Amino acid sequence: MSTSRDDFGIAIRSALLQRGAKQKFSLFVLILVSVIIFSLDNLNLKPVKILRSIINDSIYRVSAVSSSPIKFGSASKDFFINHLSVYKENERLKLEILNLKKEQLNTSYLETENKKLQEIVQLDKKSPFITVGAKIMLDKNSPYLNSAIINKGSNSNIKLGMPVLSKGNLIGRIVEVNFISSRILLLNDLNSRIPVVISPNGDQAILTGAGRKRPILEYLPENFQFEQSNVYTSGKDGVLLSGISIGEVIDNQEKQRIEVRLFTDPDQIFLVNVVLGKSTDAEAM
């Protein structure tokens, strides 16, 4: 036992001899402080407990503060990832809403077109004429020239001069025929001239386009008396079929002329019927 103590003392003295005076003193103080702290901790005194608690709290606080940047960085990363995810989801939902709106608009347009087509089919059933339906592809309107291009041509047996109806009323005649398209000269075009009959008195006249919505009646009889009348095609040109309704007579006293208010507004045409001829039942009558 004494031999081990002597060996420990020799080791300490050897360590102290190998270092400078300051290093020896520091090592001695460190050992002394360690022994004192160890002894006080074992005594379980209240001041020592308080001191130890304060030291522990300080160490914990320092550890918490030192780890805060790491936690903050991790939290910032999570927040950024979540924000980016929410942004992408929001953009996806916006795109879906936009596509739904487009689909609703397309559906609404198709419903409107279908309704128009049904009206045309019903008119075809009631009409005394054989007709072919067509859609307006292009309007060529200017202050005086008014025509429209349709998506049917000679492939549908359409020929020059054939009357064109909208809602059962005359709106113009075919003046150009291609294989899959045709051009309609509207009644209000400056170059439009068609023979008409005024009902109920039976007066004959020429309906002339004036470049406006209302064409005018020319070559009326000298004793013509204005009254509430309707205008129909007379068929005297040998091209247009007779008895197609056109409009009603209007006395424009301001301009001293007789105008015709068309039953179908030429600016509102969308689907039309080209008259190919009279039906068998109409011819029999």
Phi, psi for 135 (deg, rounded to 5): -115, 140
Least confident of 44-48, 161-165, 181-185: 44-48
- Residue ranges and CATH numbers for the domains of the chain are 130-284 (2.40.10.340)
**Residue keyed to tokens 């031999």:** 3
* Cβ neighbourhood burial of 53 (10 Å; 0-12, 13-18, 19+): exposed
* Cβ neighbourhood burial of 199 (10 Å; 0-12, 13-18, 19+): middle
The verdict on pTM exceeding 0.85 is: no
Spatial separation of the C-alpha atoms in residues 10 and 141, rounded to whole Å = 121
Q: What is the pLDDT of residues 165-222, one digit of tens each?
A: 998 899 999 999 999 999 999 999 999 999 999 998 889 999 999 888 899 999 998 8
Residue 186: CB atoms within 10 A of its CB come to: 24
Spatial separation of the C-alpha atoms in residues 73 and 62, rounded to whole Å = 18
Contacts of 258 (CB under 8 A, 6+ apart): 216, 217, 220, 224, 226, 249, 250, 251, 252
